[in-house]
Homo-oligomer: A and B are copies of this chain.
């Protein structure tokens, strides 16, 4: 049986050099698909391209408008390939309208001096943190089992917090390993930081998303079920806020650092 994430990121070549994706009901968000699965689809349009070289290093995706239920088209273009890097542009369209623009950097694996400078957060292991209970109202939320250590969605304004930091363990609700598309999707796993600050759930959505992938394919495949996500905003104003986040493996590998700019009302 195919995992619903793999169903959601399945691509079919359309014969013209582009690929067709199809929204998946399991991964629906408030309006359109969960942005993380869309980022994964965009990355996969490169990963599945016949000219791809190297491993994903950076991905930027801009969400221009909601994707309607059904099929949409992705076009990945290898703009430049040099000895160490390959640069891509990515667009998604649906019925002639552009819904996503993006760029990706793929890199050859090279041995160099290396170090993880960021500190692995001091948190209890996943087994000591309670999962979010029951069925949640948005389909995609049920595709990850989330165990929020600190910074859960407030119930109302009386729970508004002085900071927007969240730490959470999460895993696929149905078992599945970690690879680059799954990691891209994991980078968008956090609810909007504005909810923590105001305690209210005003409309909010990511408009620009960037992920830097630090792990290689083998390192990713060696991860356990749970990843640790930590996220925080730094400035909220004029209807936009930023979020900076890290995605860690359970044994302390910093798999990705990721940033987004989020619209809110």
The interface of chain A, by Cβ under 8 A from chain B, is: 57-58, 60, 62, 64-65, 79-80, 82, 84-85, 87, 89, 97-98, 101-103, 105, 107-118, 163-164, 194, 197-198, 207-208, 210, 212, 214, 216, 232-240, 242, 244, 246, 254, 257, 259, 261, 263-265
Contacts and interface: CB of A to CB of B under 8 A. Distances in A.
A95 B249 CA distance: 45
A194 B114 CA distance: 10
Task: Please tell me how many copies of the chain the complex holds.
Answer: 2
16 contacts: A60-B103, A60-B210, A64-B80, A84-B239, A89-B89, A89-B101, A105-B207, A115-B197, A116-B234, A208-B212, A214-B235, A214-B240, A235-B257, A244-B259, A257-B259, A259-B259
Contacts of A163: 117
A103 B105 contact: no
A235 B64 CA distance: 31
Contact of A118 (B84, B235, B238): B235
Given A62-B103, A62-B105, A105-B208, A117 B235 contact: yes
